[in-house]
Amino acid sequence: MIEFEMPKPIAKQRYLLQTVAEEMMRPHSRYFDDHEHEIPWDYINFMHQALQAVGAGSLAPSSENGGEKKEKEEKKNKYPPIGYQSLAFMLETLSWGDVGIYLVTPGGGLGAAAVEATGTPEQRKKFLERYKQEGASVARST
């Protein structure tokens, strides 16, 4: 049977993401459309700190647990994993806020999702390690 209810973890993210879209993106959308070469440093710094605070260096779902551990969790859990469903919801909500501003969100975004899902361990280390560094400074404030 198909469920149309939003999974609880995604519902919990909903309020935070809508707040970011409504308070940090939409009010500044017109300004950055008119000043297209300026960079929204306040948004970038906030999102970098927020991603680091929740332990995510990237918006992409992580497969760090390893195959065996992940399989055991999936068997124990009667529902399928929702990592990419969560990613799609995050991207849709932030894009609703403003696609141009969303595109400067720190982290790998869609590229990181592809590398995380299909990359070799060497590729994951090479391309995704920079997003997992704690305390890394992303941008200057202006």
- The pLDDT assigned to 96 comes to 94
Residues 104, 84: Cα–Cα separation, whole Å = 20
Confidence (pLDDT) at 68: 44
Domain 8-132 fold is Butyryl-Coa Dehydrogenase, subunit A; domain 1 (1.10.540)
- DSSP H or E run through 134: none
Question: In the chain, pLDDT over 90 holds for what percent of residues?
Answer: 25
Residue-wise pLDDT for 71-120, tens only, equals: 455 555 565 678 778 888 888 999 999 999 998 888 766 677 788 788 89
DSSP conformational letter for 59: S
Phi-psi region of 77 (alpha: psi -120 to 50; beta: other; left: phi over 0): beta
pLDDT of 4 > 80? The answer is yes
**Each residue's pLDDT tens digit, 9-25:** 888 888 889 999 999 99
pLDDT value at 35 more than 70? yes
In b/e form, how buried is each residue of 60-96, taking b as 16+ CB within 10 angstroms? bbeeeeeeeeeeeeeeeeeeeebbeebbebbbebbee
Q: For the whole prediction, is pTM greater than 0.75?
A: no
- pLDDT of 135 > 80? The answer is no
> What DSSP designation does 74 have?
H
| Residue-by-residue DSSP string for 84-103 | HHHHHHHHHHHHHH-HHHHT
Give helix then strand counts, H and E, for the chain: 8, 0
